[in-house]
Amino acid sequence: MKAAGIDSLKIEGRMKSVYYVAMVTRAYRKAIDALEGKITSEEAKPYIDELENVSHRENTTGFFYNKTDADKTASGASDSKYQLAAEFGNELSSNEIEKMYLEGQKNYSSFLTDLNNLHPNAKKARLEDLSIHPDRKIVPFEKKDGWHMYSLTALNKFNPKMDIEIISPEIVSLTINSGDWQIINPESGTLLNWVCDSHICVFYSKYKLTNDSLLRILDSEYQDGQIRETGR
């Protein structure tokens, strides 16, 4: 195609997810870079291999070779074992982190004061309730040396007990284990036990990321070899 003089490729992205578009465009980018000698084929290969982790129809030659191929009906599909969980935004400044930290400390102090002012029986009942419903606990985040904080737009439900993966134009896949990252409510400065679409949160970890990074998680409903009905 390059030898034929083609200098522009269009990737169909209508009705596709952000995850699909990101994975496919970066694979083509790396393949073109390898073709032009900017990187090696070995460096491009992991990005191209990641195309198999995207839901897609059966691969075809796109009517490129002959009429026989053009008359062939494409069928079948491949499901993805991943869900796109969030999109990263900009990194927060040290001043923004400090302001959030102080807000968290203030809220935690108020929580302890209110708890200790309760009647002993009421305090006991409150503590029992918190043990049953840990989401109601007020836990401020603690600043960690060398960690970075980013705004985050959640798209699916996930929680800090999960291992997550980060992908970007320059990161094939980075696994961050549970315990090495946190999600924080930026308005209260307190830790979140889970987050989902429309929740306000920031991401905190030791990894330096870019604002074109995506967070993906393993899809618990994925079954190898089976295609789920999407309604389309």
pLDDT digits (tens, 9 = 90+) for 7-59: 888 887 778 888 999 999 999 999 999 999 999 999 999 999 999 888 877 77
Query: Taking 90 as the threshold, does the pLDDT of residue 73 lie above it?
Result: no
* Residue 183 near residue 53 (C-beta atoms within 8 A): no
Residue that wins the pLDDT comparison between 227 and 138: 138
pTM score, two decimals?
Answer: 0.85
Query: pLDDT for 155-206, tens place per residue?
Result: 999 999 999 999 999 999 999 999 999 999 999 999 999 999 988 999 999 9
Mean pLDDT of 126-140: 90
pLDDT of residue 26: 95
CA atoms within 13 A on the CB side of 101: 12
Query: Taking 70 as the threshold, does the pLDDT of residue 207 lie above it?
Result: yes
Q: Which residues pair with 158 in a beta bridge?
A: 195
Please give the sequence-ordered ranges of beta strands (E in DSSP) within 75-226, or none if there are none.
77-78, 82-91, 148-154, 164-168, 171-176, 181-185, 190-191, 200-205, 214-218
pLDDT of residue 206: 96
Query: Taking 80 as the threshold, does the pLDDT of residue 79 lie above it?
Result: no
pLDDT of residue 108: 95
User: With the CA atoms of 83, 88, 94 and 96 taken in that order, what torsion angle do they form, in degrees rounded to the nearest 10?
Assistant: -90
Query: Taking 70 as the threshold, does the pLDDT of residue 229 lie above it?
Result: no
Report the Cα 75 to chain-centroid distance in Å: 30
pLDDT band, residue 85 (cuts 50/70/90): very high
Query: Taking 70 as the threshold, does the pLDDT of residue 78 lie above it?
Result: no
pLDDT of residue 220: 84
Query: Taking 50 as the threshold, does the pLDDT of residue 6 lie above it?
Result: yes
CA pair distance 88, 203, nearest whole angstrom: 8
* Residue 50 near residue 57 (C-beta atoms within 8 A): no
pLDDT of residue 232: 47
* Residue 34 near residue 40 (C-beta atoms within 8 A): yes
Query: pLDDT for 108-124, tens place per residue?
Result: 999 999 999 999 999 99
